[in-house]
Amino acid sequence: MSSRIGIGYDIHRLKKGRPLWLGGIQLPFEQGLDGHSDADALLHAIIDALLGAAALPDIGHYFPPSDPKIKNIASSLMLEKALSEITQAGYHISNVDSVVIAEAPKIAPHRDAMRAKIAQLLKIPVSSIQIKGKTNEGLDAIGRGEAIAAEAVVLLEEK
């Protein structure tokens, strides 16, 4: 049985008046991420990691930001589509490792809920999901509290 590794990255600006979605859950915060969808940077990074590991097109192929029909789509629906695509390609998920880079809010208090939600969406055990929170130590747009980014790595196994 062969294994395949994929990596994903996403970043979105923070904007007042929007809810903050990360890891498939809404976090209490005074700003949310700006984007065509709900802008869940963590789920977007995981989606691209999944699709990349299966050598499938990236998130923009399936969900182009120019498509008005998907305006404000929940990233959880996008993740379910990515799971369907990799399953059809003959793979299953071994594990997901990820990092959320943000000055605020703190990720640790929400980690377990995010892990549980992602595991539910991907139909894998919570023990196969890891999320770490990091800051940018005050450097660049993330460090100034203007954006949140996420990176993810996944391991797929052939069925």
The number of distinct structural domains making up the chain is 1
pLDDT at 1 (0 to 100)? 77
Residues 6+ apart with CB under 8 A from 121: 24, 76, 79, 80, 83
- Write down the pTM of the prediction: 0.98
What integer is the mean pLDDT of 139-154?
A: 98
Q: At 40, which CATH number?
A: 3.30.1330.50
Omega within 30 of 0 (cis) for the link into 105: yes
Residues 6+ apart with CB under 8 A from 44: 8, 10, 37, 59, 75, 78, 150
pLDDT at 38 (0 to 100)? 97
Distance CA 147, CA 91 (A): 33
Tokens of 98: 């990820």
pLDDT tens digits for range 75-130:
999 999 999 999 999 999 999 999 999 999 999 999 999 999 999 999 999 999 99
Write the CA distances from 19 to 36, 112, 123, integer angstroms: 13, 20, 26
**Alpha helices, DSSP H only, in the chain?**
41-53, 59-62, 75-88, 111-122, 140-143
pLDDT tens digits for range 51-71:
999 999 999 999 999 999 999
One-letter amino acid for residue 6 of the chain: G
Domain coverage including residue 80: 3-158
Provide the mean pLDDT of the chain.
97
* Percent of the chain clearing pLDDT 70 (strictly above): 100
Distance CA 109, CA 144 (A): 21
